[in-house]
Structure 1
Amino acid sequence: MNTNQQRHYQTVEKAIVYIRHHIQHQPSLSEIAEHVHLSEFHLQRVFTEWAGISPKRFMQSMTKQRALQVLKTSDTLLEAADHVGLSGTGRLHDLLVSCEAMTPGKAKNLGADLHIKYGAALTPFGEAVIGWTDRGICFLQFVEQDVCQTVAILRQQWPLARFYSQDAHSISDTIFSGKGNKIHLLVKGTNFQVKVWEALIHSQPGQLLSYAQVAQKIGSPKASRAVGSALASNTIGFLIPCHRVIRGDGDIGQFRWGSDRKVAIQGWEAAHL
C-alpha cells in the first residue's frame, strides 16, 4: 500500500465518522464532501476506490436495521463455515487462517525462546505494527498514536523474546491482498480466550455476531461479558476478527482500535462479498 492509498483511508475515515454521527439525518453526498473538503466527484471516486461501494451504499450498510438482519443469520453461517472447515468463503480475502496456542509452559516463560520480527506497514485501515515468528503472526495492532508506543506493547507482551526490526510491507500485503493466502497465528491466552478467538476465526467476512452468539458457540451461553473481555485482550487485529462482534441490539459496540475503524472494516468486508 502506498502513501496515496493511506491518504485515501484517512479521507474515508473522516467521511465515515461524519456519516456515523449524522446517520439519522442520512447526509447527502454534497454534505459529506463538504465536510472532508473534497468535491462530490472526487469523494465518490476515492470512497468507491477504497471501499468498493459508494458512500450512499456504505451508509445503508451502517444502519442498525441491516445489522439486526445480519445477526439473525449469523448462527447458520457460522455453523456452515465450521462444517466445511473454512474460515470463510467470501471473495474478500478468503484467508485460510489457522491458530496455534502456546503451551502453558511456553507462555509462562514469556517468549524466552522466541525470535520475533516486527515492523510497521500501511494497511487499508491505517498504519499497523505487525510481529511474526517462524511459527506464525503473533501481533497485529493498528497504530493509535505512534509506532514506538505500539512496538512497546508488543515488547510488553513478549518481554523475554528477541526482537528484530524488519520491513513488514510484504507481510501486510499477504494479509490484505485478497489472494487466498494461508496464514498461521501464534497466540497466547487462557483456554477461554483461545476458544473465543478460534470461534471468530471460523466466522466469515461480512458476518456479524452478538456477544451472546459467540458465547453460545463456544458452549458457555452465560459468558457474554467474559467474551467481551476476551475480545479486549486480542492483540492480533483483523486476523482474529473481533470487529465482527456487535451488541445484540445492533449497536456497534466497543473496539480496541476505535469504533470508527471497526465500522470501516465491517463496511469494507461487506462491500467485497
Structure 2
Amino acid sequence: MNTAAEQHANYQRVARAIHYLSARQATQPSLAELAAHVGISEFHLQRIFTEWAGVSPKQFLQFLTKQNAKRLLRSSSVLDSALACGLSGSGRLHDLMIKAERVTPGEYRSMGAGLQIHYGSCPSLYGYCFIAANHRGICKLAFYDEAQGEVELIAELEQEWAAAELIRDDRRAAAFHDTVFNARSNAKPEKLRVLLKGTEFQMKVWEALLAIPAGELCSYQQLADSMGMPTSTRAVASAIARNNIAYLIPCHRVIRGTGEFSQYRWGSERKQAMLLREHGISDTGLVVS
C-alpha cells in the first residue's frame, strides 16, 4: 500500500501530466512524449496514472475534450433528479453521509469566541491537504503545494475565526483526512459534519452543490436555474469561489457552459484531477471516498 507521501508524489506527477495533456490536447501527445515530460518511464507513468485515476492517459484525453464535457452537461437528468429531492445538506457524497450545519448568529458575530479549532496539514491524493475542525465539524478544507500556501491558509483561518483558540494538531488533521479520503472501503459509511459560515445566499449555493452526484458536471447557469435564480449566475459563481470546504462541498463539479474546466480556487489541474478520478472510478465500478 502506498504511503501518504507516495500518494502525494504520485499526485504531483499526475498533475504535471494533466497540465501537459490539457495544454497539448489538440496534438494528442504520445505516452512516450508525456513520460519524457514528467521525467519517469512510460511503464511507471502508465501504471501510476491508471492506478491513481482508474483510467489511462489516453482515456483522460478523451474525457477532457470540450465535446465530452458539453455532452455531460446536457445529460442533466441525474442532476435534476437529485435537486428535485430538495436542497438539504444531508445528501450522499462519495459514499459518506455529509451533514452540513450553519454557524449560529452568535458564533458569526463573536468570530468564534470560546471555540477551540484544531488545524493541521498532511499529504493527500490532491497535494497537501489543510484541515481545520472544531467539536461541531470540519470548518475548513483546502489544498496547497508549497509551504507558503499553508502560511496563507493559516492566516485565512485566523481572520475567519479571529476570536477562537487555534491549536495545531497534524495528527488530528490526518485522522480527518483518512475519513474523507479513505479509498475502497466496504465499511458502513461514516457520517461527517461540516460547519458552514456564510451569508444566506452562500448557504443555498453550497447546499445546492451537495446535490450534484459524483461523476456529474453542472454549469454555473444550470446551478442558478436549479435554485430558481436564473439571472443570478454571477452571484452563484462568486458564492462558489467563497467555498471554504473543498472536495466535500464539491464546487469542482461546476464548469463553464462551454465545457472549460477553469476557474477553481485551488487550481485547474487539481479540479481536473478530482473530476478525472471520479469519472474513472464510476466507469470501473469502484467506490472511492
Mark yes or no: TM-score above 0.5. Answer: yes
1:247 aligns with 2:252: no
Q: Which residue of 1 aligns with 2:37?
A: 35
Secondary structure of the structure 2 residue equivalent to 1:272? helix
In the TM superposition, residue 94 of structure 1 has moved relative to its aligned partner by 1.4
Aligned residues: 269
SS at match of 1:50: helix
2: distance between equivalents of 1:200 and 1:48? 28
Q: How does 1:35-114 map to 2 (within 5 A)?
A: 35-74=37-76, 76-82=77-83, 83=85, 87-88=91-92, 93-114=94-115
Off by >6 Å, runs of 4+ in structure 1: none
Residue pairs, 1:1-273, within 5 angstroms? 1-74=3-76, 76-82=77-83, 83=85, 87-88=91-92, 93-146=94-147, 147-166=150-169, 167=171, 168-178=173-183, 179=185, 180-273=189-282
Structure 2 unpaired stretches of 5+: 283-289
**Counterpart in the other structure of 2:286:** none
Query: Which residue identity does 2:38 align to in structure 1?
Result: V
Amino acid across the alignment from 1:171: F
SS at match of 2:128: strand
Deviations 1:61-100 (A, max 9, x none): 11111111111123x21232343977347xxx31221211
**Residue 242 of structure 1: CA displacement?**
0.6
Q: CA deviation at 1:203?
A: 1.1
**Structure-1 separation of matches of 2:57 and 2:106:** 50
Q: Give secondary structure in 1 for the equivalent of 2:75.
A: helix
Asked whether the equivalents of residues 211 and 224 of structure 1 are also in contact (C-alpha less than 8 Å), the reply is yes
C-alpha contact (below 8 Å) 1:87/1:202 kept by paired residues: yes
Secondary structure at 2:260 match in 1: coil
- Mapped to 1, the partners of 2:146 and 2:111 lie a distance apart of 26
Give CA-to-partner distance per residue, 1:231-266, whole Å, 9 cap, x none: 111111111111000001111130001111111111
Q: For structure 1, list consecutive stretches of 5 or more residues without a partner in the other structure.
A: none
Q: Is the 8 A contact 1:102 1:187 kept in 2?
A: yes
CA RMSD of aligned residues (A): 1.6
- 2:222 counterpart letter in structure 1: Q
Identity of counterpart residues, as a percentage? Answer: 45
Per-residue deviation, residues 155-203 of structure 1 (Å, max 9, x unmatched): 1111111111111111101001144332111010011101000011111
How far the C-alpha of 1:144 sits from its partner, in A, is: 4.4
Give yes or no for contact 1:100–1:185 (8 Å, CA) kept in 2. Answer: yes
- Aligned-pair distance for 1:105? 2.8
Q: Which amino acid aligns with 1:7?
A: A
Is the contact made by 1:206 and 1:269 (CA closer than 8 Å) also made in structure 2?
A: yes
Query: Scaled by the length of structure 1, what TM-score is found?
Result: 0.94
CA distance in 1, matches of 2:145, 2:41: 28
* SS of residue matched to 1:186: strand
Distance in 2 of aligned mates of 1:22 and 1:88: 36
What TM-score, normalized to structure 2?
0.89
- Assess if the C-alpha contact under 8 Å between 2:103 and 2:197 holds in 1: yes
Inter-partner Cα distance in structure 2 for 1:96 and 1:79: 20
